[in-house]
Structure 1
């Protein structure tokens, strides 16, 4: 692999820009440069294997994170749907209660009107009875004082 393809592959794997990948490689070269001359080939394979293992773990972590984000988004959508359904149910209950209350008020108004009519009739009846009683009392008083 040439240098540019290594930088490009590292940038894709780590999901960073090529400039940042190149800076990381230079930093590794400065730190590992003196050691690299002394490192046997099997250690390089071990190091590459460890890097691949870390990269695989990063991919697994990214996959798990994406799954969790998808699950959270689904839960949020479910919660929004549930909340909207509850709000709709509450609005329906409020409308039902309002209609029921209005019906009860109408019934009470009708009962009050009926009671007012009955009270008017009783008032007229009582007035006529009182007029008759008063007429009788006046007739008795008249008879006692004037009639003899």
Structure 2
């Protein structure tokens, strides 16, 4: 299940883990995983931090209860797994306010399975998180051996 918390300081990515950052609408979006190389079957811990880098509150509005979409693609661009696939999100407006300097942290575990629940083969995969309130996306690459 998607874990969401608000913290005064964003978590530091583990040393050597892949990370990527993009800024959009006054928010610094940082995506990282807990490692860059995984053994088959090992859980991939995905973290997206959204930090307000302005001096005013930022209010994000979402059309459903889903606040982020996380996808995993192979190097050919084929969709392997999607957080939202097979889930139903209530169509109600969700509003999240991030105060100046504040950070919202979203965590999800990917169990290295495809959309049919099968173990994915070894290879390089691109994990992308899209903040559905800003439409800013950020991606990292991992390897499974």
TM-score band, normalised by shorter chain = under 0.3
Which TM-score applies when normalising by structure 2? 0.19
**Structure with bigger gyration radius:** 1
Which TM-score applies when normalising by structure 1? 0.19
Select the structure that is richer in helix: 1
Select the structure that is richer in strand: 2
